A and B are shown apart, each in its own frame.
Chain A
C-alpha cells in the first residue's frame, strides 16, 4: 500500500506517519508539508513544500501515484498559522492535493481531516449531531473544513473511489499546538459560567489512530470522531487548577485581547466552543474504525498534566568533569 500524507509536518501528521511506518503492509509513505515533521521518521519520504506551491504539489502527488491519500493538511487558525494564513493554506493544500489525485490511476481511497465545527452552532441547533445531520458551519474554520470535504467528495466522484471525512472533535493534548489548549492553560481563564454549554474533545493519539484505521479500512462517508462525555469551560479550568474569570457579553472582547497579549489568541471557533459548546455522536466511528477515544474528562486532565518544563535526567556515562 502506498500512502500519501499531506500535513505530515504537524503533530497529527507525524504521528500518523510513525504509526504507518510500523505497519509492514504499508510499502511506501510520502509526506508533504510546509514545515518539517515534529518527530523522527524512519522510512517515510518527506517533501517540504509550501501549501500554496501548487505546481510542486501536483508533480509530487502524480509522480508518487498513491493508493491511499490521507489529507491532513487542514490548518486550524492560530494553531500554527494566523487566521487568514490558515484559511488560505487549507484551501490551497486541498485544491492542489485533491486536484492532483484525480489523475492518479492507482488511487483507491481518500481520507480527509475535517471537524465537528462543520455542523455549526446556530441558536437552537442540536448539541450532539450525528453524521446524518446537515452541515451548516458558523465560523471560518468550520467553513474551511466543509470546503475540504466538498472537494474530497468531488474528487472521489471523479476518481470513483470512496471518501472518508473524519470529523474530529477539537484535538488537544500535550505538545499538540491548539489555540484551545493554549487558552485553557493560561493561569487565569475567562469563562461564561451562566451561558456556557458543554463541549467534547479528542486526544491527539486517538485522532492519529482513527486516521490510520480509516486509511486501512473500508468505510466511506463522514465519521464523527469524538471523545465520549463532555465538560464545560468552567469545569475544565477548575480541573486544571486554573482561576476561572467570569465574563459577560462585551467582556469577551477584552478577554480576547488579553489572552492574545498573553500568547493565546482566541479565534472565533474557540470562542464559540467555550460559550455555545460543541459535541457530536461518535458511536458510528467507534464501531466502524474500532477506535475507542478516551473520555473528554481524561483528555482535559492529560492536557493539564503536561509539564511546562521537562526534567531530563543526565545519563551517568555522558557526564564529563
Chain B
C-alpha cells in the first residue's frame, strides 16, 4: 500500500523491493531459485566477471535443454555460464553439482544450483528448464570426461543437448562463452544411444574450444 504512494519518487523501486522481501511476497521455485535475488546480486557479479557470449541464438527459446560445458578449476564457470546465458537469452540456467550441505547448498540453490542426480536433471528438463551440466575438471587443452548417466536424462525426456565452450582464466575477469549447435538425442536409440551422444557432445565442446582459441592460448 505504502509503496504505491511512493511510485515515481527516487528510491521507490528499492523501497518496494525491500517491502516485498520483508513481506515474503517474492517468487522462489521448487528447486530453490530466487530470481529476484539473482537480479539483486547482478551488479556485484558484473564487477567480478566480464562475459561475452556468442551463439546464444542456438539456445532453445522455450523448453528444457542440457548445456554441457567444460571447466578448468570450476569455480567461475557455473557463474559465468548462468549469467552469460541469462543476459543473452533471458533464461535461467540450473547448474548441476551443488553440495547438499547447509548453509552452502541452500545458498547456492538460490542462484540456480541443483544436486547432481539423474532424476533431478530429468525433473528439471521435464519442467522446461535449462540445465548446465559440467564436464569433469581439466587444466589441459583437452576437455574433461562426461558421465553417461547424466546425459541419459536428456534421452529419456527427449530434450536437446547443447555443447558450450567456456574460455577464461580463474584469476582473470574476461570470459568468453561459445554456444554450439544443439544435438537432438534419439529417444529409442538403444543402450548405445547415451554413449554415442556423450562422445558426440564431448567432441563438439572440444571442437568449439579449439575453434575459439589458438592452440595453447586457453592454458
Contact = CB atoms under 8 A, between A and B. Distances in A.
Contacts of A283: 126-127
B119 interface: yes
Contacts of B107: 194
A198 B29 contact: yes
Nearest to B120: A126
A281 B32 contact: no
A231 B33 CA distance: 11
B114 to A, nearest CB: 8
Nearest to A124: B100
Given A239-B23, A281-B126, A128 B120 contact: yes
Given A125-B115, A127-B114, A195-B103, 16 more contacts: A124-B100, A126-B123, A128-B30, A128-B120, A132-B119, A194-B103, A197-B32, A197-B105, A197-B106, A198-B29, A229-B30, A230-B28, A235-B24, A235-B26, A238-B24, A279-B30
A237 B22 CA distance: 10
Interface of A: 123-130, 132-133, 192, 194-198, 200, 229-232, 234-239, 241, 275, 277, 279, 281, 283, 297
A229 B126 contact: no
Interface magnitude class on chain B: 20 to 34
Given A129-B119, A234-B24, A200 B126 contact: no
Interface of B: 22-32, 100-103, 105-107, 109, 114-115, 117, 119-120, 122-124, 126-127
Contacts of A127: 30-32, 114-115, 120
Given A230-B28, A238-B24, A196 B123 contact: no
21 contacts: A124-B100, A125-B117, A127-B30, A127-B114, A127-B120, A128-B30, A133-B119, A194-B106, A195-B103, A195-B106, A197-B32, A198-B32, A200-B30, A231-B28, A234-B24, A237-B24, A238-B24, A239-B24, A239-B25, A281-B126, A283-B126
A129 to B, nearest CB: 6
A126 B123 CA distance: 9
Contacts of A192: 102
A198 B30 CA distance: 6
Nearest to A236: B24
A130 B30 CA distance: 13
A129 B109 contact: no
Nearest to A240: B24
A132 B157 CA distance: 13
Contacts of A241: 23
A128 B123 CA distance: 7
A128 B102 contact: no
B26 A124 contact: no
A238 B22 contact: yes
A194 to B, nearest CB: 4
Contacts of A132: 119
Contacts of B26: 235
